[in-house]
Structure 1
Amino acid sequence: MGIFHFLGFSLAFYAIYRFTATLTRNKLRAILTAVDDIPLLGLPRGCTRRIPGTAVVCGGSIAGLLTAKICGDHFDKVVIVEPEEWVTTEEGLHDRHRQALDNYSLEADHKRARVFQYTFMHGYQMFLPMALKKLFKNFEVEIRRAGGRLVPHDFQVYWSGIPFPMSDVWKGKEAPHVLGISRPLLETTLRRLVLESSPNVCYIAGSVVSMIQMGKDNVIQGVSIRPAGSSEVVQIAATMVADCTGPARIGFKCLKDLQSKSGATDNLEYLKKMYTHKLNTASFEFKIPSDMIPKLKALSFPGDFSRSWAVLNSAPDPDEERRGLGVICSENNTIHVACGGWGLENPPQTISEVREIASTLRLARPLPSWVIPFLDFLDKENLPCVHLHLRCPPAVWLQYHKATNLPSNFVALGDAVMNLNPLQGFGVTKACVDAVTLNGLLTRLPGNTLPSDFGHKFFDIQAKRIKGRWDQTKMEDYAYDTTIPSHGEDKDTYALWTRKFNRQLVKLLIKDPSVTATWVQTRDWLAPETDLLSPRILLKLGWMILSNTFSALF
């Protein structure tokens, strides 16, 4: 009987462990990700009537557009206040010259004066198309009409020249899709979709000057704006105000102004966490004529303009190198090449300088054999090209969740709350996560008024879902000696053991596709970062370290 008792006890213990582990993971997924809120997008409100009044969205870029769409489902009226007047015209709805195939001028692009990376290389994570397809029923059709596409997740990631086993991650099953489209086309498509699907959303070309707060009820009553081309200031009553102005952070400035006028003793500056990564990079955008594509293919270039997206993402080992290289195939035969690094004083000015950097990178393994011939091809064929220099601003996180006296009807989304090292490519998806989070909170309201703790609840949920990105990105940036850390932090000791763990984890990612699959899920906002601490991965990591130790000894 002893053996049967042991087996029974073991099975019971395993069943309890599996049940507890599943319950815990589901709870962490609900807290640390917005995946469980995606099914709520587009659903009718529990309270059939919309919230009376106007939601004012400050800023009409991607964070503002997604916020306006969400608010359009919950409020009677939505007003987007956008400082760049051309965005509110036909040109802001259709980027027709970029949609052209061969008769196309890269220089004709409108530049977003307040979005410094507007025409820069962009990457997106799997969370984004999942949410957008739920938010807009015709999203995929419109993306294809614009020239973009949904492509299999086959990002070619290299760490110090060593490839991650991405081709084995989805072996035997269909790879999930990511969005393949440039930022200008994505933004104009979203703007058109928002205005077509939400007739209660409108644009005002102008700038937010201040917020209006009456009495002691801690509620913003409205905003003052200065319409484009006018010196007059007009006021708009507001039921809710959303700051989506990116690094300009107009909402934060207005809140500090309100605080100053009220005589409050708190200084909102304590909410700002900032460090300077000194990332300096260059972008080259090439238009490949149709008759030149066979020459490109003859070089064994792996990009396929109809299916692939990121064909090279080469990240450095910070102990050996500070420079990186990226290549993306964009819509309508366009290729983006990005090259730069941390503390790099002079990023490349020409594609020949990119080639020089690529050939001198200090890597554990050489780059794929097609890279240098590919760069030579771009250099020698004299193709149409636009060169951009991107000196990235410091990373900032406004920790609104720690504030004690914010207006209850104020929220902030996207880069207005947190902007990261842009090479991570998290910005657009992070804005989408914020918008999905806002929708989840609004959908679950029991009535059609905002409660007195609405803003606090939003910022608390938001902080839990974006904190991991801040910690991870900062930890990676702190590995470079040129990074200036946050006030009071020592970058040499910050998260030291986590950095040691991550370094070992990278070695495991290179070898084990199942661990890489988990990493992809967490990086693409579909799973909590705690999945990388599962017993399965920790056991594999421990075994790898022991094996490497014994191999070194014997």
Structure 2
Amino acid sequence: ARVGLKWLQRHGYGYLPDSAPSSNPQNYTNGTLPLDQLKISLDQKLRYTSIIFRLRPEFHDRLPFPPHLKNVKQICTYMDDGSEESIKAGKGMFVLVRADGGHFCAFTGHYGSTRSQPTNITEMKAYVRSFKPKKPIPDWIFGILDMLEDIQDEGSVSALKIPPTTYVQYHRAVNLPSNFVALGDSVITVNPVFGEGAAKALRCALSLHKTLHSALSSGSKDTLQPDFSVNFFAEACNKTDWIWQNTRLTDYGLPTTEPIAGESLSSGAFLRRYGNHMQSLAPKNELAAWVLYTIIAGLGTPIDALHPRLILRVLWSMCWSS
């Protein structure tokens, strides 16, 4: 997925004319960078475990879901609270997912290496009991885990350590071939907790569509314009850069994160606090809930969180809790 940088390097692209790959970045103007400095990364030190079962119908029907959840293919999520103690411990997450075909997934995830990573349901139960949620985890959750523990040998276990997330800033490159484009994970990878992969790929595809349409509209039907690649990456940046910036600032709220070289975890502290209060407000405020949903679903942008009516409510919440 990252072979694009190697191709460009091999054929001498990405640098100012007549300059060596180690050329001085000060020679690059208007925010451009040499090829070997386009890639930035941060490491959230994210760990997660998923255990997937294929349940028999009679077993599934005996799972102790509350009556109002019996026939809903829901996702149940529980997290540590936002206290300093929980954050230092890696702020754990526990998720149950009921899918089609009898598939059932139990998932845990956390940041850093303070917590042990569960590898079976028995360890997962102990992991979840160590949580410090704002509201107690209901007993029926542990009832489900008790039943899964009896068949834990039938589960498919995946325990992963997520590699650092990266951003290849092609929009800051120079001397690109006119027919070079890169999309999706080959440009940006973000913390999978945010579930931005599909939205990011779609936005990249829309960027390519718009750039191709603009090229055709300008009368260039047989050959690509010399600035086609530059125009594409500028459009893709406009549609996807906020995904990287938004998730980066959120990840910087955890002391386990290793930031981008030259940056500090203190970056974006006020915006993180604003976002946390907006999230707390969402269950009680329809506007906050809608804005949060559209941002997470990729239907909106972070600027929506600064709606004048919403700002007043969030700031009031911040002042009241301080």
* Structure 1 SS opposite 2:247: helix
Residue 227 of structure 2 is matched in structure 1 by 453
Question: Which amino acid letter does the alignment assign opposite residue 274 of structure 1?
Answer: S
3-state SS of 1:332 partner: helix
| CA distance, structure 2, for counterparts of residue 314 and residue 275 of structure 1 | 23
Counterpart selection for 1:515 from 265, 288, 297:
288
Amino acid aligned to 1:327: L
Residues 191-248 of structure 1 show CA distances to partners (whole Å, capped at 9, x for unaligned) of: xxxxxxxxxxxxxxxxxxxxxxxxxxxxxxxxxxxxxxxxxxxxxxxxxxxxxx2xxx
**Unaligned 5+ residue runs, structure 1?**
1-244, 550-554
Runs of 5+ unmatched residues, structure 2: 22-33
1:528 aligned to 289, 301, 313, which one? 301
The offset of 1:382, in angstroms, is: 4.5
State whether residues 509 and 516 of structure 1, in contact with CA within 8 Å, keep that contact through their aligned partners in structure 2.
yes
Q: Give 2:192's aligned residue.
A: 422
Structure 1 334/318 Cα, relative in aligned 2: closer, same or farther at 3 Å?
Answer: farther
CA deviation after TM superposition for structure 1 residue 316, in Å: 5.0
1:308 aligns with 2:73: yes
Measure the CA separation in 2 of the matches of 1:304 and 1:418: 39
Equivalent residue runs for 1:356-395 within 5 Å: 356-382=126-152, 384-395=154-165
How many matched pairs? 299
**Deviation at 1:489?**
0.8
Residue equivalent to 1:437: 207
Deviation, 1:421, is 1.1
For 1:457 and 1:515, the matched residues in 2 are separated by: 35
Q: Is the 8 A contact 2:121 2:152 kept in 1?
A: no
Structure 1 CA distance for aligned equivalents of residues 137 and 203 of structure 2: 34
Cα distance 1:455–1:309, how it changes in 2: closer, same or farther (>3 A)? farther
Residue 265 of structure 1 deviates from its aligned partner by: 2.4
Pick from 330, 335, 340: which aligns with 2:109? 340
Alignment partner, residue 253 of structure 1: 6
CA 1:282–1:411 in 2, change beyond 3 Å: closer, same or farther? Answer: same
User: TM-score, normalized by length of structure 2?
Assistant: 0.85
Classify 1:486/1:521 alpha carbon distance in 2 versus 1 (closer, same or farther; 3 Å).
same
Residue type of the partner of 2:4? G
1:318-357 mapped onto 2 (5 Å cutoff)? 319-321=84-86, 322-344=91-113, 346-357=116-127
Check 1:384–1:302 CA distance in 2 against 1; reply closer, same or farther (3 A cut). Answer: farther
Q: Give the 3 Å change call, closer, same or farther, for CA 509–320 of structure 1 in structure 2.
A: farther
CA distance in 2, matches of 1:301, 1:414: 41
Alignment of 1:195-344 (within 5 A): 245=1, 249-259=2-12, 264-266=19-21, 267-296=34-63, 298-300=64-66, 308-312=73-77, 314=79, 316-317=81-82, 319-321=84-86, 322-344=91-113
Taking the aligned partners of 1:325 and 1:275, their CA distance within structure 2 comes to 24
1:95-132 residue CA offsets vs partner (Å, 9 max, x unmatched): xxxxxxxxxxxxxxxxxxxxxxxxxxxxxxxxxxxxxx
Q: Deviations over 1:433-461 (max 9, x none)?
A: 21122122223332423221111111111
CA contact (8 A) 2:95 2:107 kept: yes
TM-score where L is the length of structure 1: 0.51
Map 1:16-31 → 2, pairs under 5 A: none
Which structure has the highest strand share of the two? 1
2:316 is matched with 543
The one-letter code sitting in structure 2 at the alignment partner of 1:534 is: H
The superposition leaves residues 162-201 of structure 1 with CA deviations (integer Å, 9 ceiling, x where unpaired) of xxxxxxxxxxxxxxxxxxxxxxxxxxxxxxxxxxxxxxxx
Aligned-residue CA RMSD (Å):
2.4
Q: C-alpha distance in 1, partners of 2:192/2:122?
A: 24
User: Is 2:249 the counterpart of 1:480?
Assistant: no
Partner Cα distance (2:264, 2:158) in 1:
33
Work out whether residues 398 and 417 of structure 1, in 8 Å CA contact, stay in contact via their aligned partners in 2: yes
Structure whose CA Rg is larger: 1
Distance 1:368 1:457, change over 3 A: farther
- Assess, with a 3 A threshold, how the Cα gap between structure 1 residues 368 and 459 changes in structure 2: closer, same or farther: farther
Q: Output the CA distance in 1 between the equivalents of 2:304 and 2:60.
A: 42
Look up the SS of the partner of 1:458 in the other structure.
helix
